[in-house]
Amino acid sequence: MSVSSWRFGRACGLLLAFGLSMGVAPGVVSDAEAAVREGSSVTTVAEADPEQTALARAAASGEPVEIAEARTEYSTTDANPDGSFTLKQSTAPQRVRAGDGSWQAVDTTLVRRPDGSIGPRAAVVDLAFSGGGSRSMIRLGSRQSSVSLDWPGELPEPAISGATATYAEVMTGVDLELTATAEGYRQILVVKSAEAAASSALEKVTLSVDGDGLQVVSGAGGGLRAIDANGNTVFNGPAGQMWDSAGDQAAARLTRVAAEEPQDPTGEGDPTQPGAGDATAVLPVNVAEGTVSIAPDLDLLRGAETVYPVRIDPPVGLGISERSVISSDGDRWWQFNGEYGVGLCGSADGYYCGNGYKNRMLFEMAPTQLSGKYVLDATFRAHETWSFNCDPHWVDLERTDNMSEGTRWPGPKDLDQMGDKWVSNGRGDNCTPSQPEVPPADWTAGVYAAGARFCLSRDLVSSGVT
pLDDT digits (tens, 9 = 90+) for 288-307: 888 999 999 999 999 999 99
Between 104-108, 116-120, 259-263, the lowest mean confidence (pLDDT) is in 259-263
- Phi and psi at residue 424, in whole multiples of 5°? -150, 140
Q: What average pLDDT does range 190-206 have in this prediction?
A: 95
Decide if pLDDT at 10 tops 50.
Answer: no
Closest CA to 147 of 193, 104, 191, 184: 184
Is the model's pLDDT at 437 over the cut of 50? no
Contacts of 402 (CB under 8 A, 6+ apart): 364, 412, 457, 458, 459
Q: What's the confidence (pLDDT) of residue 301? A: 95
More confident residue, 460 or 311: 311
- Which residues are bridge partners to 46 per DSSP? none
Q: What is the mean pLDDT of the chain?
A: 74
- Which of 31-40, 88-97, 168-177 has maximum average pLDDT? 168-177
| Cα–Cα distance for residue pair 59/82, rounded to 1 Å | 7
Q: Report pLDDT for 26.
A: 32
108-122, 172-186, 408-422: lowest mean pLDDT where?
A: 408-422
Q: What contacts 24+ positions apart, CB below 8 Å, involve 217-221?
A: 217/287, 218/285, 218/287, 219/285, 219/404, 219/405, 219/406, 220/404, 220/405, 220/406, 220/407, 221/284, 221/404, 221/405, 221/406, 221/407, 221/408
Q: What would the mean pLDDT of 428-443 be, rounded to a whole number? A: 44
Residue 374 pLDDT level (bands cut at 50, 70, 90): confident
Q: Where do the domains of the chain lie? A: 21-83, 105-244+279-319
Rounded CA-CA distance 128/141 in Å is 9
Q: Which amino acid is at 142?
A: S
Looking at residue 108, its pLDDT comes to 95
